[in-house]
């Protein structure tokens, strides 16, 4: 048992007696936080600071898997939720706030003429796909990126246990920035693909008009284009990546940045398509839950009235530029790279014989957590990261990069790990 994470580890052992993996979210479990060098439970958070159950403080660059854009416990969001709580959480009929938040989204997001709410990103992507299938009368879908836990998508990954083969057979993957890979799918399944769904961007920028080409090819083949903006929405721009890149899809899904951590997701799109939602079954008890809608209203208001996205970019650029300079300073560009958009950037680790990227990543996490930085290899920026927080992050990298280089070059990595390395995980980005 490690001294620094003693209570976390005790709690994990207890939690695992009643909860498989001890967590509700794969990416918050020991599959991603190596056992022995990681915290497992957070007690409280404020801004970009979080405190684990052992009392260790961190600057959080995970931000609840990018769900938190303003910062934890944002005073305006908390006040809006408190006020709504007094009125009620859920009723036997919709509350007017559903319509008010829908109107706000229509105002902000280019493709949004009509809007439906849900809880998780996976609800929204599954709803968009069912809608696209109903609209086109076709069954197959083309996917690129991560789109959630539901059968229609996860069946296309290596984590496909429990998904029927008949469902898996309907989902086909194509490669980002490789328009030919999408061409091939349309050639192989002519007039059968209902939707092309992709994250408009994750690790790499779109090249050579990729997004425009995807839209053209998709429409030429009678399919619908769906942007999965679960992460990029309300982060790349107030109108999401579709506004940022100037490419408007038919439908889009949103999840994480919408309500600063409250469970709310959205399917939005052109009215003529969304109207079919009156017939498609997309309906759940908590779809109109008002605390999350109040949180969204306050979050969207803040996005519109304060320079939130500008600050995410400004601070994120300092991270990217600072980290690139450190990679150069420590001459580790053969081991690691920096990629992504400033508001959601990636620390990419390569294999370096005899070590796999997973072993190196485990060492990186061990050392970052020990220095009070919570990251899973991405920098999910929030409005509350100030210059001091960025300086702390870069100071940690300034210490960890030369260590990484040393343990790899001197082949001491396994001896210097205080835990078992992470198992290779399925990759979708």
Residue 148 beta carbon to ligand PLP: minimum distance, rounded to whole angstroms: 3
Question: Rounded to the nearest 10 degrees, how much is the dihedral formed by the CA atoms of 204, 207, 212, 214?
Answer: -70
Residue 323 beta carbon to ligand PLP: minimum distance, rounded to whole angstroms: 22
Interface residue with ligand PLP, options 39, 47, 71, 121 (CB under 6 A): 121
Establish whether the linkage from the previous residue to 8 is cis, with ω within 30° of 0.
no
Task: Assess contact for 228 and 198: CB atoms under 8 A.
Answer: yes
- Chain residues 65-84 in contact with ligand PLP, contact rule CB under 6 A: 65
Residue 83 beta carbon to ligand PLP: minimum distance, rounded to whole angstroms: 26
User: Which one of 34-42, 75-83, 117-125, 174-182 is the stretch in contact with ligand PLP (CB under 6 A)?
Assistant: 117-125
- Answer yes or no: 5 catalytic: no
Interface residue with ligand PLP, options 56, 84, 122, 136 (CB under 6 A): 122
Task: Assess contact for 252 and 112: CB atoms under 8 A.
Answer: yes
Helix (H, G, I), strand (E, B) or coil at 308: helix
Interface residue with ligand PLP, options 255, 257, 269, 421 (CB under 6 A): 255
- Answer yes or no: 228 catalytic: yes
Nearer to ligand PLP, 121 or 316 (CB): 121
Within 10 angstroms of residue 328's Cβ, the number of other Cβ atoms is 10
Report if residue 231 touches ligand PLP, rule: CB under 6 A. yes
Size of the site for ligand PLP (CB under 6 A): 15
Report if residue 230 touches ligand PLP, rule: CB under 6 A. yes
Residue 145 beta carbon to ligand PLP: minimum distance, rounded to whole angstroms: 6
Nearer to ligand PLP, 182 or 332 (CB): 182
Residue 257 to residue 385: CA distance in whole angstroms: 16
Residue 245 to residue 225: CA distance in whole angstroms: 15
- Answer yes or no: 361 catalytic: no
Residue 203 to residue 121: CA distance in whole angstroms: 19
Task: Assess contact for 250 and 197: CB atoms under 8 A.
Answer: no
Nearer to ligand PLP, 127 or 322 (CB): 127
Q: Which residue is nearest to ligand PLP (CB)?
A: 121
CA 286, 288, 292: angle at the middle one, nearest 5?
Answer: 90
User: Which one of 30-38, 154-162, 224-232, 350-358 is the stretch in contact with ligand PLP (CB under 6 A)?
Assistant: 224-232
Residue 199 beta carbon to ligand PLP: minimum distance, rounded to whole angstroms: 5
Q: Which of 195, 136, 148 is nearest to 170 (CA)?
A: 195
Active-site annotation holder among 28, 30, 104, 256: 256
Q: How far is CA 128 from CA 115, 172, 274, 378, in A?
A: 11, 16, 9, 27
Contacts of 269 (CB under 8 A, 6+ apart): 111, 112, 113, 114, 128, 131, 249, 250, 251, 252
Nearer to ligand PLP, 120 or 350 (CB): 120
Binding mask 130-169 for ligand PLP (x = CB under 6 A): ---------------xxxxx--------------------
Question: What is the DSSP code string of 148-214?
Answer: -SSHHHHTTSS--TT--HHHHTTEEE--TT-HHHHHHHHHHSTTTEEEEEE-S-SSS---TTHHHHH
Residue 75 beta carbon to ligand PLP: minimum distance, rounded to whole angstroms: 25
- Chain residues 184-213 in contact with ligand PLP, contact rule CB under 6 A: 199
Active-site annotation holder among 33, 58, 146, 262: 146
Report if residue 258 touches ligand PLP, rule: CB under 6 A. no
Nearer to ligand PLP, 146 or 186 (CB): 146
Question: How do strand 171-173 and strand 140-144 relate by DSSP bridges?
Answer: parallel
Report if residue 125 touches ligand PLP, rule: CB under 6 A. yes
Task: Assess contact for 258 and 296: CB atoms under 8 A.
Answer: yes
> Could you list the active site residues?
146, 228, 256
What are the residues binding ligand PLP (CB under 6 A)? 65, 120-122, 125, 145-149, 199, 228, 230-231, 255
């Amino acid at each position: 048992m490690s001294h620094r994470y003693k209570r976390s580890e005790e709690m994990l052992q207890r939690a695992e007696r009643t909860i498989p993996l001890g967590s509700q979210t794969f990416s918050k479990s020991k599959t991603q936080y190596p056992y022995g060098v990681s915290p497992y439970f957070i007690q409280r958070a404020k801004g970009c600071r979080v405190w684990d159950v052992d009392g260790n403080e961190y600057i959080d660059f995970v931000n609840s898997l990018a769900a938190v854009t303003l910062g934890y416990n944002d005073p305006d969001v908390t006040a809006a939720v408190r006020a709504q709580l007094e009125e009620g959480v859920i009723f036997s009929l919709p509350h007017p706030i559903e319509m008010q938040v829908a109107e706000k989204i229509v105002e902000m997001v280019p493709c949004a003429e009509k809007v439906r709410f849900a809880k998780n990103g996976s609800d929204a992507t599954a709803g968009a796909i069912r809608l696209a299938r109903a609209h086109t009368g076709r069954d197959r879908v083309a996917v690129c990126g991560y789109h959630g836990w539901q059968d229609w998508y996860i069946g296309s990954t290596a984590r496909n246990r429990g998904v029927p083969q008949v469902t898996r057979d309907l989902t086909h993957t194509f490669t980002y920035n490789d328009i030919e890979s999408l061409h091939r799918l349309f050639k192989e399944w002519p007039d059968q693909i209902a939707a092309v769904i992709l994250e408009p961007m994750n690790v790499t920028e779109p090249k050579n008009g990729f997004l425009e080409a995807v839209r053209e090819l998709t429409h030429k083949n009678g399919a619908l284009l769906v942007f999965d903006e679960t992460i990029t929405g309300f982060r790349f721009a107030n109108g999401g990546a579709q506004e940022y890149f100037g490419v408007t899809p038919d439908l889009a899904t949103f999840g994480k940045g919408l309500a600063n951590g409250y469970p709310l997701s959205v399917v939005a799109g052109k009215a003529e398509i969304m109207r079919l939602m009156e017939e498609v079954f997309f309906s759940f008890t908590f779809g109109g839950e008002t605390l999350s809608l109040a949180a969204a209203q306050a979050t969207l208001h803040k996005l519109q009235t304060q320079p939130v996205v500008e600050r995410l970019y400004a601070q994120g650029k300092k991270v990217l530029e600072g980290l690139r300079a450190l990679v150069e300073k420590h001459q580790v560009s053969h081991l690691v790279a920096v990629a992504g958009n400033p508001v959601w950037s990636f620390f990419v680790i390569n294999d370096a014989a005899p070590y796999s990227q997973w072993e190196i990543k485990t060492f990186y996490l061990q050392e970052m957590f020990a220095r009070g930085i919570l990251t899973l290899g991405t920098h999910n920026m929030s409005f509350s990261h100030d210059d001091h927080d960025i300086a702390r992050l870069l100071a940690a990298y300034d210490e960890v990069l030369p260590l990484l280089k040393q343990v790899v070059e001197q082949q001491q990595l396994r001896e210097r790990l205080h835990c078992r390395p992470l198992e290779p995980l399925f990759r979708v980005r």
